[in-house]
Structure 1
Amino acid sequence: MSRPKNIQKIKEFDRVIARLFARKGYHSTSIREIARELGMTQSSLYYYYKSKEDMLFRLINSAVDESLATVEKICFSDLPAEEKLKQVLGFYTQYFAGDQDREILLLNEINSLSPEHRAIQIQKERHYVQLFYGILRELTEQRKMKPINHTVATFAFFGMVHYTVKWYHTDGSIGLGELADMFVEIFTKGIFTR
């Protein structure tokens, strides 16, 4: 009975910690400040987290794992390549533009991780790229994609989504679904053959 409550409590802790790290920066946020923001003592905080770096790793890793699971499910489905691409683009946009605190951590704080933790994330990033390449390769083989370098296409999309932290506001006039639709439209109409 207490287990679901603990999971919910940790998710709330993670949300608060992600916000602090994203706003102030990982190195500028102290354990004392985190504990104060969560309304607990520093020693109580260590019941949930091994270290400050453990907090950062868990925030980044859980976001990447969760999104990667969905992207893999889409990529390994029986959907046509065009539909896979649209679904991956739409999901990825909504997921990362919708959780800007973790997106900021992923972009700005990955080098604050220990070498071991950083290596884990780099491996997962490479897996993302391979999945995306797989879809583009399918489209190329089916002659449904213009002769555009897959690396350029892949990183153009990732850059488009990740840059939303600079200008996109989830409470603004464009909703996440609408933003995802726009990005899918912009990206696919530029690579699909007529």
Structure 2
Amino acid sequence: MSVEPISSRTHEQRALISSKAAELFARKGYAATSMNEIAEASHLSKPGLYHHFKDKAEVLFHIADGHVSRLADIVTGVEALGLPPERRLPELIEVFMLEYAEAQNEHRVLTEDVRFLDAEAQACVLDKERTVVRVFADAIAAARPDLDGMQLTKLLTMFLFGMLNWMFTWFQPNGRFSHAEMAPIATQLFLHGVAGMEVEHPAARRKRP
């Protein structure tokens, strides 16, 4: 009988704890969540939880750093494809939103709770966030090079993230539209405004192979 490596079991257990903690942080807030609650949600004793994480701040860092690392890997992967400017930004928005769809709790923690980390941990997360912002800013500059000279690229990038990052406050993924169907809407709205939107009906999108 094969024996699963301890490192693999530890990785899976830490992932489970992080997932349960992210759900609690997203629902209750970081400050209002206790290690006892994280242990209970993870079906662990409190000593069992402390075997994996020394304190609540380490749990928070593991969630935030893991999520932003995945986002950085995803967007730099798109960047490496060398897509033409007219395709790069829509692709970035789509992959960003699809990852967000699978990690809504983690994304909420990243946008709301990183401020509770110490300065060194915040700097680590912020450095990876800068990579994500830089890739999006480069894509916007490629799509509209005329705006880069007006120093509008960074401003527009933050407008875009403002639209994407706060979808969790109102968007219901079990409603009429999915995250995948919202991606082209967000792209059209950002690039062309309401007057220039050309949105495909969700039913037509679902019928495509």
| TM-score, L = length of structure 2 | 0.82
C-alpha distance in structure 2 between counterparts of 1:68 and 1:45, whole Å = 29
- Tell me how far 1:97 sits from its aligned partner: 4.5
Residues 71, 132 of structure 2: 8 Å contact kept: no
2:75 paired with 1:38: no
Indicate the residue corresponding to 2:121 in structure 1: 117
- Tell me how far 1:73 sits from its aligned partner: 1.0
1:170 aligned residue (170, 173, 185): 173
2:87 aligned residue (83, 88, 94): 83
- Tell me how far 1:148 sits from its aligned partner: 8.0
C-alpha distance in structure 2 between counterparts of 1:144 and 1:32, whole Å = 51
C-alpha distance in structure 1 between counterparts of 2:179 and 2:9, whole Å = 29
- Tell me how far 1:45 sits from its aligned partner: 0.5
Alignment of 1:22-61 (within 5 A): 22-61=26-65
C-alpha distance in structure 2 between counterparts of 1:16 and 1:4, whole Å = 19
Q: Kindly report structure 1 stretches of 4+ aligned residues shifted beyond 3 Å.
A: 2-9
Residues 97, 164 of structure 1: 8 Å contact kept: no
2:106 paired with 1:102: yes
C-alpha distance in structure 2 between counterparts of 1:101 and 1:107, whole Å = 10
2:1 paired with 1:20: no
Indicate the residue corresponding to 1:189 in structure 2: 192
1:136 aligned residue (120, 134, 140): 140
Greater shift, 157-166 or 33-42, is seen at: 33-42
Unaligned runs of 5+ in 2: 197-209
CA gap 1:163/1:97 in 2 versus in 1, 3 angstroms: farther
Residues 96, 161 of structure 1: 8 Å contact kept: no
- Tell me how far 1:14 sits from its aligned partner: 1.6
What does the per-residue CA deviation read over 1:52-97, in whole Å, with 9 as the maximum and x for residues that have no partner? 1010001011111011101001112221122111110111122224
- Tell me how far 1:162 sits from its aligned partner: 1.0
Residues 22, 104 of structure 1: 8 Å contact kept: yes
2:77 paired with 1:73: yes
C-alpha distance in structure 2 between counterparts of 1:8 and 1:50, whole Å = 17
- How much identity, in percent, do the aligned residues show? 24
Unaligned runs of 5+ in 1: none
What does the per-residue CA deviation read over 1:109-131, in whole Å, with 9 as the maximum and x for residues that have no partner? 11101111001112122222221
The Cα RMSD (Å) is: 2.4
Count of aligned positions: 190
